[in-house]
Structures are given as C-alpha cells and as structure tokens.
C-alpha cells in the first residue's frame, strides 16, 4: 500500500522536520533534558516524574485528575503526589523492603496505583504492575515468578484473586489493602501512609538500577518478566515528544490500563516527566462518556487503542461532532496494527489523523511511529524514532531472521521479514528475569530480533504483517495460548486444549479454545457453559470467548498441538498456507 494522507503540513516542535531531528538527535542530548537527582546522585524515574517539578516551582500544577466511575473528580497536584509517593516509599522502608526487591500492584485506575508506582521507584525497589482483570492463576504465576515481596491491591481484588493463594506464595511478605484490612495477613495501606514520616529522600540511583518488571507472554512456556532500568526514562521522555507531540503543561489521556506496559510507560511516566496533567478515567468504554471526557477535560494529546477507535467508528462521525474536541492536537494509537480506515475516520470525526506506532514490552518505549512532521501512510507503522535504527531481516522457514555465522541479511523493499532493532536505546530491556537463555534468543547478528514480521517500503516506512509465532492480540493485549491451555487442562473434563486468536472486527482477535474431553464426558451445551465460566474464574480477561469440542486435535510429530492448523480450519483456509493466513490476520 502506498496511499498517503497528509491533510495538514505538520512539523515537530521548533519547526524542524523529522529528517532534521533524526540527523541531529543523540541520546546524550536527550539525557541532558532531564534533571537528574540533586547533587549528581544519579537518575531516578520518580524524581523526573514528580519531585523535579516541585523543586522547580510547579508543585501546584495538577499532575493527575482521577475521574471515578460515578463521575467524581479528584485532583492531585505535583506537590501532593510528591508527598504521597514519598510516604509510600517510607512505608516500604519501614516494612523492610530492600532495593531491587519487587513490589506489585493489582489495582484499577485509582490514586493508589500512581502513588504505589512512584513510591516504589523512589525506594529503589522494582515496580511490577498486574492487570486488574487477571484471574487468580495469572496473578499467582506472576507473583511467584517475580518473587514479589509486597502486593498493593483492593479489598475486593484481594478476596477474589489472592486470599486463597497466600500459602502458595512464600515470598509474598505483605499485602497492602485499600479500604481496610481483610484478614490477619493484610495491612491497611491508608493507615500505614498516614503514620509514615514525610520528607522522604530518594537514595542515590544509578541509571542501570532495575526499576520496572513487566510480564509478557509468548506462545509457549511461562510468562516472561522483562526487566527495565531507571535510565529508561530518557527514552520515555524523548519518544513522547517525537511520537506523541507531548509538551509541558499538556492535558494528556492514555486509555491503556496501568497494569500493562503502555499504561506505565505512557500512562504514568512519560506525561509526568513533561509536567503534564494526566487524565485517569476509571469507567469502562462508553462512546458518549469518552467523547465527553475529551471535551470537558480539554484533552490535547490522546493515546488510545485501535479497538477503542473501531468501536467509536460504529457510531459514525456525527456523534463526535456533537462534542467540542477543538483542544485535541494529536491522536495516537497503540497495541496492535491500525486499520487504514481508522486513520481516515480520524480526520472525518476528530479533525485529525490517527498516528500509528509500534513497540513492545521488551523495547520499553515507542520505536517506530508516524510522527508530526511526516506524511502519514494509512496502514503503516511509520518510521523509526530518532535514536533508533530499524531494519527488516531475511527470514527463515520458521519466520524468524536467519542468522548465519553471526551475520544477518537485509530484506529488499516490500519483502516480508523479521523486524529488528540495533541495541543501545535507553529503554531496551536488560533481560528476562532469571532467564538468560530466553534473553539470548532475542538477539542475533548485532540486532534485537522482535519476533514480528514486517516489510519496509522504498521510502523507509514500515508495515506490520504479523507475528512470527502465534501470540494472540486481543484488544491491544498479548495473550499466550499456552497459558490458557494449561489452565483449561486443570478442568476434570479436559484432557487437552488448543487455543488460537480468532479474527474480530473490534478487538482484532478474540480467544477461542478447542478442547478434547476425557472419557466419560459428553460435549453438551451445559459443559460448554461450565468451561467458559471456569475459564473466566481462572483467567479473567484472558479467558476464551468461544469453545469448540474437538476429539482429534492436530499434532506435530513431537506431540505439540498445531495451533496454526486450527486457525486455518477456523478461517476456512488451505491448511498450512502461511501467507494466506498472515493476510487474514
């Protein structure tokens, strides 16, 4: 596709073009834009996001505007956020949490989420966000793999997701609950915060000190914990300027859940480093409520998901025209490939094109984007952000880049291959937690190998094709089939399961499971409903939406379920026709 859409001649801040900024950019210059800890004591994400603004006289600016489900609004200034996050850091210190130990949150979009994240970073501990819609099994697995010492959650989520798992989590020393204690193994977070000493001083922090642990699932094996460092804030800040056009004082809304990497990198860290006002909306998706929020809060930069945009498209452009969206300056999309139609719809409904971009949990920040200052080619991810070198590498039979004698070959323009990046940007993950073998497989021939298939046109624009493996992308979330299959096999009626992503016009893909029943069980509608309910209890938001009984699942010679064959059958495609299957995604 070579279609272009350039309704407005756009430039980066300062009047420079994309090519000019790319030529002049260095990571050293980007680092110089941040303050660093006073006295040259290093670099700490929380200082750049909060305390820096207080020190520079902007403490009275609203940092976070929390809009609750009932519509009530709570404003938290930078000075208040500095005090609250400092008190949380002191709570961790009083509880004996050491630097480098993991602190997890299982929370929704609420003030405690942001306080816990920033307070953990101030302490020098590692913040690990968990998706609040996870079922008990995904929560248990991540807490166990991360050797999490402290969990912050709500009373309701504790009862439903954690209480019955405590004996299986020997490393979990403390659970801090919002809204009062639940049992004799929980502590009241607000009570601890009230009694914590104010005026916390962030200890010396090296840029390479671990700061964040984000779990991501592949297609096989257990969830992988990607470790990021405090130096990642340099990339968070720089990419938010180039890819999101974020500026000091902006009103910014990122709709990603804080339990995912986007919700942390760009839903907490990046906007706060600019001194922006971050909108935190706790309600579920509702077209009128979302438009009302954009209008009433005078949002200037909006970062959302293709799924949400496609849902808004269902209502047509007229509904958007009922609201004053004149404050909007930049709209960007994240989580999955953006349909070309959405880019065009953005101009019609919002008066702005939607800017697609690409990155991964492992990259820690946006790597490829449709920036201001360059034409948009609908359907393209765009071009690499300044400071990042990207390429498409010739792939082998397994879809991954061929690395022969430590060398790789570059694909020709228009040729599909594996998208790769030159290592060296500050937010690159430092490895999977306690898994050096998996980490090593991500690199080859001097490149980070993304596992994503793409092609590059003659002008340097990148186009997403699909995954080299079969990870499921549903509503912007990555779901590992193996994790879902493992949970289903714990049901007494199931002997085996195969899980795929089924194309869906709104969510991109929905999870579908094929199950083989044990002898003595019949494939009834009652059992199907029971399995769906079982999946929801165990997996929460990862659970399949559809289940098909299949007593003859296809297998490889080594005994693995052939998910790609299942998907080909589901779509009515020739079995094994990989190219057709990729196009159908």
pLDDT score recorded for residue 478 = 59
Q: How confident is the model at residue 519 (pLDDT cuts 50, 70, 90)?
A: confident
What percentage of the chain has pLDDT greater than the value 90?
A: 69
Q: Helix, strand, coil % (nearest 5) of the chain?
A: 35, 25, 40
| SS3 state at 121 | helix
- In 339-416, where do the E strands start and end? 354-358, 368-369, 383-384, 390-393
- Does the pLDDT at position 484 exceed 60? yes
Neighbour tally for 98: CB within 10 Å: 11
- Does the pLDDT at position 265 exceed 70? yes
Phi and psi torsions of 254, nearest 5°: -110, 120
Mean of pLDDT over the chain? 90
C-beta of residue 290 within 8 angstroms of C-beta of residue 349: no
Tokens of 367: 């790597």
pLDDT score recorded for residue 15 = 57
Listed range (95-99, 217-221, 320-324) with the worst mean pLDDT: 217-221
**Mean pLDDT throughout 432-461?**
95
Residue with tokens 């720089």: 238
The residues with which 448 forms a beta bridge, in sequence order, are: 421, 443
First-to-last C-alpha distance (Å) of the chain: 16
In terms of DSSP bridges, do strands 187-188 and 174-178 run parallel, antiparallel, or are they unpaired? Answer: parallel
How far is residue 386's CA from residue 155's CA, in Å, rounded to a whole number? 44
pLDDT score recorded for residue 474 = 80
141-159 residue pLDDT tens: 999 999 999 999 999 999 9
How far is residue 543's CA from residue 139's CA, in Å, rounded to a whole number? 14
**Mean pLDDT throughout 80-100?**
98
Tokens of 422: 């030159």
- Does the pLDDT at position 223 exceed 60? yes
pTM of the model: 0.84
Tokens of 425: 């940007």
Q: Which residue has the higher pLDDT, 39 or 476?
A: 39
- Does the pLDDT at position 160 exceed 80? yes
Tokens of 275: 């001194």
350-409 residue pLDDT tens: 999 999 999 999 999 999 999 877 889 988 999 999 999 999 999 887 778 999 888 999
The residues with which 572 forms a beta bridge, in sequence order, are: none
How far is residue 10's CA from residue 345's CA, in Å, rounded to a whole number? 18
Tokens of 304: 């959302």
- In 383-435, where do the E strands start and end? 383-384, 390-393, 417-421, 431-432
How far is residue 173's CA from residue 577's CA, in Å, rounded to a whole number? 51
pLDDT score recorded for residue 275 = 98
How far is residue 82's CA from residue 243's CA, in Å, rounded to a whole number? 27
198-218 residue pLDDT tens: 999 999 999 999 999 999 864
246-268: burial string, b at 16+ Cβ within 10 Å, e else: bbeebbbbbbbbbbbbbbbbbbb
* Dihedral over alpha carbons 112, 114, 120, 122 (to 10 degrees): -120
Query: Which domains does the chain possess?
Result: 18-454 (3.40.50.12780), 472-584 (3.30.300.30)
| SS3 state at 410 | strand
How far is residue 302's CA from residue 291's CA, in Å, rounded to a whole number? 11
| SS3 state at 173 | coil
Listed range (68-82, 151-165, 194-208, 538-552) with the worst mean pLDDT: 538-552
pLDDT score recorded for residue 489 = 79
C-beta of residue 457 within 8 angstroms of C-beta of residue 483: no
Neighbour tally for 55: CB within 10 Å: 14
- Closest by CA to 570, choosing from 525, 514, 516, 531, is 514
* Helix count and strand count (H, E) for the chain: 21, 27
**Mean pLDDT throughout 75-104?**
98
């Amino acid at each position: 596709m070579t279609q272009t859409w350039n309704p407005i001649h756009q430039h980066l801040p300062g009047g420079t073009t994309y090519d000019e900024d790319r030529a002049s950019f260095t990571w050293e210059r980007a680092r110089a834009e941040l303050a660093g800890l006073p006295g040259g004591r290093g670099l700490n994400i929380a200082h750049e996001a909060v305390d820096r603004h207080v020190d520079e006289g902007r403490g009275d600016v609203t940092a976070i505007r929390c809009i609750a489900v009932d519509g009530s609004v709570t404003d938290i200034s930078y000075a208040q956020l500095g005090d609250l996050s400092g008190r949380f850091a002191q709570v961790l210190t009083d509880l004996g949490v050491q630097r480098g130990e993991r602190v997890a949150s299982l929370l929704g979009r609420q003030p405690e989420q942001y306080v816990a994240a920033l307070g953990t970073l101030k302490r020098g501990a590692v913040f690990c966000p968990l998706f609040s819609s996870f079922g008990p099994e995904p929560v248990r697995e991540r807490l166990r793999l991360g050797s999490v010492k402290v969990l912050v959650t709500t009373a309701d989520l504790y009862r439903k997701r954690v209480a019955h798992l405590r004996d299986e989590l020997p490393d979990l020393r403390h659970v801090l609950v919002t809204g009062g204690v639940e049992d004799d193994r929980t502590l009241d977070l607000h009570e601890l915060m009230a009694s914590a000493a104010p005026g916390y001083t962030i200890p010396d922090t090296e840029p390479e000190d671990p700061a964040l642990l984000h779990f991501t699932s592949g297609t096989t094996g257990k969830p992988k914990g990607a470790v990021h460092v405090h130096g990642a804030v340099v990339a968070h800040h720089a990419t938010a300027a180039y890819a999101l056009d974020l500026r000091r004082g902006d009103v910014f809304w990122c709709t990603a859940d804080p339990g995912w990497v986007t919700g942390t990198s760009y839903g907490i860290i990046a906007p706060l480093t600019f001194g922006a006002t971050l909108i935190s909306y706790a309600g579920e998706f509702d077209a009128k409520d979302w438009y009302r929020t954009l209008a009433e809060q005078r949002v200037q930069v909006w970062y959302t998901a293709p799924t949400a945009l496609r849902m808004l498209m269902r209502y047509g452009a007229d509904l958007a025209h009922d609201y004053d969206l004149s404050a909007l300056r930049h709209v960007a999309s994240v989580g999955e490939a953006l349909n070309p139609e959405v880019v065009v719809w953005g101009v019609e409904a919002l008066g702005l094109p939607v800017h697609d971009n690409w990155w991964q949990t492992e990259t820690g920040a946006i790597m490829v984007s449709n920036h201001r200052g360059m034409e948009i080619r609908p359907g393209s991810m765009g071009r690499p952000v300044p400071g990042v070198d990207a390429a498409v590498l010739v792939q082998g039979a397994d879809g991954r880049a061929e690395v022969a004698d430590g060398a790789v070959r570059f694909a020709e323009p228009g040729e599909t291959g594996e998208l790769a990046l030159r290592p060296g940007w500050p937010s690159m993950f430092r490895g999977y937690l306690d898994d050096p073998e998996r980490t090593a497989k991500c690199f080859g021939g001097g490149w980070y190998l993304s596992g994503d298939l793409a092609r590059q046109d003659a002008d340097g624009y990148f186009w997403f094709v699909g995954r080299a493996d079969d990870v499921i992308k549903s509503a912007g979330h990555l779901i590992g089939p193996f994790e879902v299959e493992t949970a289903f096999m714990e049901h007494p009626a199931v002997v085996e399961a195969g899980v795929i992503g089924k194309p869906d016009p709104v969510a991109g893909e929905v999870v579908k499971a094929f199950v083989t029943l044990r002898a003595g069980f019949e494939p009834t509608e009652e059992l199907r409903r029971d399995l769906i309910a079982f999946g929801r209890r165990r997996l929460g938001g990862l659970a399949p939406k559809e289940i098909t009984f299949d007593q003859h699942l296809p297998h490889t010679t080594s005994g693995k379920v052939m998910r790609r064959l299942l998907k080909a059958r589901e779509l009515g495609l020739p079995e094994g026709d990989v190219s057709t299957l990729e196009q159908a995604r």
